[in-house]
């Protein structure tokens, strides 16, 4: 089957010029729709009267018959105003591959151009009536007539003949890096950036022009052209801000897509939104894959960790692309695999970020304790850099060493940075989810709240003045700190993976913890030696980390150091939320009898909430007021 290309638009936009030029470039024969009008229509138009729907019916059917005949042979390019949706339906009836090319121009420009064309001047009132009749087509390839005929026809030829393999919407930092990553790996891509104001026009085109690797890529400002340029089933990745923007883009895309097309959301979306979108699009026969992507700008460019979930059928189509652009693990396998149903990919990305918050905070606390010992940032870097040669190594540790060595003139840059940390919400979501599921992910939530505390700068300054607590030099040696840090990290990872495990049970996601650890061994922000070791330990035992023999042995021998670091922080009035919480959590979890019997009794006392006993089965209530 050959293509039928219908060049449409109001009179005077240059349909014949474009059709003829396109025909020259493609060898597909050109037909001017006007030549197919019956005599009666021609006479009516000559007398200056506009045609009505009834007059047009037979003419449109004749053009449709022409298209049907020609799709079997060499195809056809037909110039026809096709102003109404219903006309376009008649034109494309039983035609397999029809492209409408809509030429768009404003009234003044068209009038001006028509005046200059000999013998082709149309009274403005007739042109106005054409504009009134025009129902803008949704799926048509649309071009402004301010472009040259060469540019328009070149683009039509490219879109129709050279479809790309993958589409990307949203050219922010991550979208740009992922686009380059796809192109660097030899994939042909289409890129689109939504523009709300004029400044953002041409973002995609300018970006394409920056890198030679985009030679075969296509860049668009028009969404319909972008969608049409992609091979079916279309694979379109959204790299837009989480929340409403994702829904807006989906709604814009929906009328342009066909059954079986795939939308991938690569942003940090909330997992419940992802589930809603998977269900919503499923009803429309469109696949939706929510994919957590970690690695920041550099990772997205050179190989991120990718956590896709949702339609498994769609994932099979995506795997060759996503697994190629992802980072590779130590065995050369891509750090990307199908995570599970609905929003599970975004869920684990959310917990990834929760673990990330705590890993960052623990390192900030290491830095703070050493700074309190009056060490310079450079000395601190020297003290912790050797850890990178041990099982403690991680991406976040490495960047912390580099940060500590960064100077600005004679000063350490870190000393110039304000102590107020922002966040984009994923740590908050992790804490909320942990609370909802009843999982004490307390090291993660302490890291989140430490960021919140940091934002109260003015209050902290005032309170520091009011209380004047003496800050002394914390007493500890570097090895004790190293051991305490080792234990605190194990507890952080234990909490994060326990949360994932609980969510997996609650939603029947059947998540594979070892595989999750594997795709987090490279590309992502929390890649580390510890993560490597979890890949194997979760294969040997599905038990939570604190129950695994390696963790038991390590914590038994190192716990004292965690206690000593916490003691040093308490003695010196140094705030150390995550180390403190790691110790408290550990102490709680290894305590057979907690004080919760008192809580039970209190609840029963004031609210008759009842309680359970250790010596009898059942539920009990005591009348506490009877002596």
DSSP letter at 287 equals E
Smallest gap from Cβ 525 to ligand 6PG, in A, equals 4
Select 423 or 455, whichever has its Cβ closest to ligand 6PG: 423
Instruction: Return the beta strands (E) in 314-451 as ranges.
Output: 407-408, 411-412
Segment lying near ligand 6PG (by CB under 6 A), choices 17-25, 163-171, 257-265, 290-298: 290-298
Annotated catalytic residue 349:
yes
Beta-strand pair 141-144/98-104: parallel
The answer to whether 362 contacts ligand 6PG (rule: CB under 6 A) is: no
DSSP letter at 336 equals B
Catalytic residue among 235, 349, 365, 483: 349
Q: What does 15-50 look like in DSSP terms, one character per residue?
A: HHHHHHHHHHHH---EEEGGGG--HHHHHHHHTTPP
Select 127 or 246, whichever has its Cβ closest to ligand 6PG: 246
Distance CA(67)–CA(78), nearest Å, equals 8
Work out which of 81, 177, 179, 353 binds ligand 6PG, going by CB under 6 A. 353
Q: Which two tokens stand for residue 248?
A: 């807006």
The answer to whether 431 contacts ligand 6PG (rule: CB under 6 A) is: no
Select 261 or 356, whichever has its Cβ closest to ligand 6PG: 356
Work out which of 163, 296, 317, 368 binds ligand 6PG, going by CB under 6 A. 296
Smallest gap from Cβ 100 to ligand 6PG, in A, equals 40
- Residue 312's SS3 state is helix
Interface pattern 235-274 for ligand 6PG (x via CB under 6 A): ---------------------------------x------
Which residue sits closest to ligand 6PG, CB atoms considered?
Answer: 294
Smallest gap from Cβ 175 to ligand 6PG, in A, equals 13
The answer to whether 423 contacts ligand 6PG (rule: CB under 6 A) is: yes
The answer to whether 172 contacts ligand 6PG (rule: CB under 6 A) is: no
The answer to whether 426 contacts ligand 6PG (rule: CB under 6 A) is: yes
Select 178 or 380, whichever has its Cβ closest to ligand 6PG: 178
DSSP collapsed to 3 states, 293-304 = EECHHHHHHHCC
Distance CA(569)–CA(580), nearest Å, equals 9
Q: Are 616 and 610 in contact (CB under 8 A)?
A: no
Q: Count of residues binding ligand 6PG (CB under 6 A)?
A: 12
The answer to whether 524 contacts ligand 6PG (rule: CB under 6 A) is: yes
The answer to whether 308 contacts ligand 6PG (rule: CB under 6 A) is: no
The 4-8 sheet, strands edge to edge: 30-32, 76-79, 4-8, 98-104, 141-144
Select 56 or 346, whichever has its Cβ closest to ligand 6PG: 346
The answer to whether 424 contacts ligand 6PG (rule: CB under 6 A) is: yes
Smallest gap from Cβ 280 to ligand 6PG, in A, equals 24
The answer to whether 175 contacts ligand 6PG (rule: CB under 6 A) is: no
Distance CA(147)–CA(76), nearest Å, equals 23
Catalytic residue among 356, 359, 365, 502: 356
Work out which of 190, 274, 294, 533 binds ligand 6PG, going by CB under 6 A. 294
The answer to whether 442 contacts ligand 6PG (rule: CB under 6 A) is: no
Distance CA(194)–CA(170), nearest Å, equals 7
Interface pattern 525-564 for ligand 6PG (x via CB under 6 A): x---------------------------------------
Between the two ends of the chain, the Cα-to-Cα distance in Å is 94
- Residue 365's SS3 state is helix
State the Rg of the chain over Cα. Answer: 32
Smallest gap from Cβ 455 to ligand 6PG, in A, equals 13
Smallest gap from Cβ 426 to ligand 6PG, in A, equals 5
Select 223 or 350, whichever has its Cβ closest to ligand 6PG: 350
Distance set, CA 339 to CA 289, 310, 319, 472 (Å): 11, 8, 12, 48
User: Residue 548's beta-bridge partner residues?
Assistant: none
The answer to whether 368 contacts ligand 6PG (rule: CB under 6 A) is: no
Instruction: Return the beta strands (E) in 170-249 as ranges.
Output: 189-192, 218-220, 235-238
Annotated catalytic residue 283:
no
Phi and psi, residue 237, nearest 5° = -100, 130
Q: Is 370 exposed, middle or buried (0-12, 13-18, 19+ CB in 10 A)?
A: buried
The answer to whether 364 contacts ligand 6PG (rule: CB under 6 A) is: no
Beta-strand pair 407-408/411-412: antiparallel
Distance CA(567)–CA(580), nearest Å, equals 9
Q: Which residues are catalytic?
A: 349, 356
Interface residue list for ligand 6PG (CB under 6 A): 268, 294-296, 353, 356, 423-424, 426-427, 524-525
């Amino acid at each position: 089957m050959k293509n039928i290309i219908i060049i449409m638009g109001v009179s005077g936009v240059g349909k014949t010029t474009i059709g003829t030029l396109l025909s020259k470039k493609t060898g597909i024969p050109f037909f001017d729709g006007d030549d197919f009008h019956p005599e009666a229509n021609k006479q009516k138009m000559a007398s200056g009267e506009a045609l009505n729907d009834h007059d047009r019916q037979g003419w449109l059917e004749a053009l449709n018959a022409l298209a049907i005949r020609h799709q079997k042979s060499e195809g056809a390019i037909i110039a026809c105003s096709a102003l109404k949706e219903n006309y376009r339906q008649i034109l494309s009836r039983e035609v397999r591959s029809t492209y409408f090319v809509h030429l768009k121009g404003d009234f003044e420009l068209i009038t001006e151009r028509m005046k200059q064309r000999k013998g082709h001047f149309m009274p403005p009132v007739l042109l106005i009536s054409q504009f009134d009749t025009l129902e803008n087509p949704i799926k048509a390839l649309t071009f402004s007539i301010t472009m040259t005929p060469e540019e328009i026809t070149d683009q039509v030829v490219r879109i129709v003949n050279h479809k790309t393999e993958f589409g990307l919407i949203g050219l922010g930092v991550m979208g740009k890096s992922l686009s380059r990553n796809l192109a660097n790996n030899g994939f042909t891509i289409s890129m689109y950036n939504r523009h709300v104001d004029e400044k953002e026009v041409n973002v995609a085109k300018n970006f394409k022009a920056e890198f030679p690797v985009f030679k075969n890529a296509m860049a668009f400002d028009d969404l319909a052209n972008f969608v049409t340029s992609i091979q079916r089933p279309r694979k379109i990745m959204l790299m837009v801000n989480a929340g409403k923007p994702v829904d807006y883009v989906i709604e814009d895309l929906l009328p342009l897509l066909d059954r079986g097309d795939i939308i991938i959301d690569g942003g940090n979306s909330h997992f419940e939104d992802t589930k809603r979108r998977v269900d919503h699009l499923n009803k429309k026969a469109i696949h939706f894959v929510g994919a957590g992507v970690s690695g920041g700008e550099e990772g997205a460019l050179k190989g991120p960790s990718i956590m896709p979930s949702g339609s498994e059928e769609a994932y099979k189509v995506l795997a060759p692309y996503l697994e190629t652009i992802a980072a590779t693990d130590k065995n050369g396998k891509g750090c990307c695999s199908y995570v599970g149903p609905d929003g599970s990919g975004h869920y684990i990305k959310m917990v990834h970020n929760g673990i990330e918050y705590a890993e960052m905070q623990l390192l900030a606390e290491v830095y703070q304790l050493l700074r309190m010992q009056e060490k310079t940032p450079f000395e601190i870097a020297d003290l912790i850099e050797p850890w990178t040669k041990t099982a403690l190594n991680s991406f976040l540790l490495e960047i912390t060493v580099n940060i500590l060595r960064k100077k600005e003139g004679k000063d350490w840059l870190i000393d110039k940075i304000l102590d107020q940390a922002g966040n984009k919400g994923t740590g908050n979501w992790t804490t909320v989810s942990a609370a909802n599921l009843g999982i004490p992910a307390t090291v993660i939530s302490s890291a989140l709240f430490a960021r919140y505390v940091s934002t109260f700068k003015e209050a902290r300054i005032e309170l520091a003045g009011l209380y004047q607590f003496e800050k002394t030099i914390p007493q500890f040696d570097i090895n004790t700190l190293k051991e305490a840090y080792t234990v605190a990290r194990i507890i952080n990872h234990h909490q994060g993976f326990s949360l994932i495990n609980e969510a997996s049970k609650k939603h029947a996601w059947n998540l594979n913890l070892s595989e999750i650890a594997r795709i987090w061994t490279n590309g992502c922000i929390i890649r580390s030696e510890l993560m490597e070791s979890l890949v194997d330990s979760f294969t040997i035992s599905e038990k939570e980390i604190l129950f695994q023999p390696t963790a038991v042995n390590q914590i038994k021998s190192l716990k004292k150091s965690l206690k000593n670091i916490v003691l040093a922080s308490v003695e010196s009035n140094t705030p150390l939320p995550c180390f403190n919480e790691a110790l408290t959590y550990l102490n709680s979890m290894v305590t057979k009898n907690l004080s919760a019997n008192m809580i039970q009794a209190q609840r029963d006392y004031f609210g008759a909430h009842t309680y359970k006993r250790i010596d009898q089965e059942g539920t009990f209530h005591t009348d506490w007021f009877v002596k």
